[in-house]
Protein backbone atom coordinates (compact mmCIF):
# COMPACT_ATOMS: atom_id res chain seq x y z
CA UNK A 1 0.00 0.00 0.00
CA UNK A 2 2.68 2.49 0.63
CA UNK A 3 3.60 2.19 -3.00
CA UNK A 4 0.11 3.18 -4.00
CA UNK A 5 0.23 6.23 -1.82
CA UNK A 6 3.50 7.36 -3.29
CA UNK A 7 2.18 6.96 -6.79
CA UNK A 8 -0.97 8.84 -5.93
CA UNK A 9 0.99 11.50 -4.13
CA UNK A 10 3.37 11.90 -7.06
CA UNK A 11 0.46 12.18 -9.48
CA UNK A 12 -1.25 14.68 -7.23
CA UNK A 13 1.85 16.86 -7.10
CA UNK A 14 2.06 16.83 -10.90
CA UNK A 15 -1.59 17.80 -11.23
CA UNK A 16 -1.11 20.62 -8.77
CA UNK A 17 1.82 21.91 -10.80
CA UNK A 18 -0.25 21.72 -13.99
CA UNK A 19 -3.17 23.48 -12.30
CA UNK A 20 -0.87 26.10 -10.80
CA UNK A 21 0.81 26.62 -14.18
CA UNK A 22 -2.54 26.93 -15.93
CA UNK A 23 -3.81 29.31 -13.26
CA UNK A 24 -0.70 31.45 -13.48
CA UNK A 25 -0.95 31.49 -17.26
CA UNK A 26 -4.59 32.50 -17.03
CA UNK A 27 -3.75 35.22 -14.49
CA UNK A 28 -0.98 36.56 -16.74
CA UNK A 29 -3.38 36.55 -19.71
CA UNK A 30 -6.04 38.39 -17.72
CA UNK A 31 -3.49 40.92 -16.46
CA UNK A 32 -2.39 41.65 -20.06
CA UNK A 33 -6.01 42.06 -21.09
CA UNK A 34 -6.57 44.36 -18.13
CA UNK A 35 -3.57 46.54 -19.08
CA UNK A 36 -4.78 46.72 -22.67
CA UNK A 37 -8.30 47.63 -21.57
CA UNK A 38 -6.94 50.20 -19.14
CA UNK A 39 -4.96 51.81 -21.99
CA UNK A 40 -8.06 51.77 -24.20
CA UNK A 41 -10.09 53.38 -21.43
CA UNK A 42 -7.52 56.14 -20.97
CA UNK A 43 -7.40 56.78 -24.73
CA UNK A 44 -11.21 56.92 -24.87
CA UNK A 45 -11.29 59.30 -21.91
CA UNK A 46 -8.85 61.65 -23.64
CA UNK A 47 -10.81 61.47 -26.89
CA UNK A 48 -14.12 62.10 -25.12
CA UNK A 49 -12.69 65.12 -23.25
CA UNK A 50 -11.36 66.57 -26.50
CA UNK A 51 -14.72 66.11 -28.18
CA UNK A 52 -16.50 67.76 -25.26
CA UNK A 53 -14.02 70.67 -25.37
CA UNK A 54 -14.67 71.16 -29.09
CA UNK A 55 -18.43 71.02 -28.56
CA UNK A 56 -18.22 73.59 -25.76
CA UNK A 57 -16.16 75.88 -28.00
CA UNK A 58 -18.71 75.50 -30.79
CA UNK A 59 -21.53 76.29 -28.35
CA UNK A 60 -19.71 79.46 -27.23
CA UNK A 61 -19.23 80.53 -30.85
CA UNK A 62 -22.90 79.90 -31.61
CA UNK A 63 -24.00 81.87 -28.55
CA UNK A 64 -21.83 84.83 -29.61
CA UNK A 65 -23.29 84.63 -33.11
CA UNK A 66 -26.82 84.51 -31.68
CA UNK A 67 -26.13 87.60 -29.56
CA UNK A 68 -24.85 89.48 -32.60
CA UNK A 69 -27.87 88.45 -34.67
CA UNK A 70 -30.21 89.55 -31.89
CA UNK A 71 -28.47 92.95 -31.73
CA UNK A 72 -28.76 93.33 -35.51
CA UNK A 73 -32.41 92.30 -35.41
CA UNK A 74 -33.10 94.82 -32.68
CA UNK A 75 -31.40 97.52 -34.71
CA UNK A 76 -33.42 96.61 -37.79
CA UNK A 77 -36.67 96.66 -35.88
CA UNK A 78 -36.05 100.02 -34.24
CA UNK A 79 -38.48 102.79 -35.12
CA UNK A 80 -35.81 105.19 -36.31
CA UNK A 81 -34.40 102.51 -38.61
CA UNK A 82 -37.86 101.81 -40.03
CA UNK A 83 -38.37 105.51 -40.69
CA UNK A 84 -34.98 105.75 -42.38
CA UNK A 85 -35.83 102.71 -44.52
CA UNK A 86 -39.12 104.30 -45.50
CA UNK A 87 -37.39 107.55 -46.49
CA UNK A 88 -34.76 105.61 -48.46
CA UNK A 89 -37.50 103.69 -50.27
CA UNK A 90 -39.27 106.91 -51.24
CA UNK A 91 -36.01 108.43 -52.42
CA UNK A 92 -35.26 105.36 -54.54
CA UNK A 93 -38.72 105.49 -56.10
CA UNK A 94 -38.26 109.14 -56.99
CA UNK A 95 -34.86 108.44 -58.53
CA UNK A 96 -36.28 105.54 -60.55
CA UNK A 97 -39.10 107.73 -61.86
CA UNK A 98 -36.60 110.43 -62.77
CA UNK A 99 -34.44 107.87 -64.59
CA UNK A 100 -37.45 106.61 -66.53
CA UNK A 101 -38.34 110.17 -67.54
CA UNK A 102 -34.76 110.90 -68.63
CA UNK A 103 -34.61 107.70 -70.66
CA UNK A 104 -37.89 108.60 -72.36
CA UNK A 105 -36.62 112.11 -73.07
CA UNK A 106 -33.35 110.71 -74.44
CA UNK A 107 -35.30 108.40 -76.74
CA UNK A 108 -37.34 111.35 -78.04
CA UNK A 109 -34.16 113.35 -78.63
CA UNK A 110 -32.65 110.48 -80.61
CA UNK A 111 -35.75 110.28 -82.77
CA UNK A 112 -35.63 114.02 -83.38
CA UNK A 113 -31.95 113.75 -84.28
CA UNK A 114 -32.73 111.00 -86.83
CA UNK A 115 -35.46 113.18 -88.39
CA UNK A 116 -33.11 116.13 -88.60
CA UNK A 117 -30.46 113.95 -90.25
CA UNK A 118 -33.04 112.70 -92.80
CA UNK A 119 -34.00 116.30 -93.66
CA UNK A 120 -30.36 117.30 -94.01
CA UNK A 121 -29.62 114.43 -96.42
Band (8; pLDDT cuts 50, 70, 90): very low
Q: Which domain holds residue 56?
A: 1-77
Total domain count, the chain = 2
89 and 72 within one domain: no
100 and 59 within one domain: no
- In order of 83, 103, 104, 120, the CA distances from 107 in angstroms are 36, 6, 5, 20
89 and 67 within one domain: no
90 and 66 within one domain: no
pTM: 0.45
113 and 61 within one domain: no
28 and 64 within one domain: yes
39 and 97 within one domain: no
The per-residue pLDDT for range 26-84, each reduced to its tens digit, is: 999 999 999 999 999 999 999 999 999 999 999 999 999 999 999 988 887 887 888 88
- In order of 31, 45, 72, the CA distances from 37 in angstroms are 10, 12, 52
Amino acid sequence: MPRGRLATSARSDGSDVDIDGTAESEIAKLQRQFRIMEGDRQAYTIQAREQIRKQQQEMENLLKEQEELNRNLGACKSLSRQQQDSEDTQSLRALLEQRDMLEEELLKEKQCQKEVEKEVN
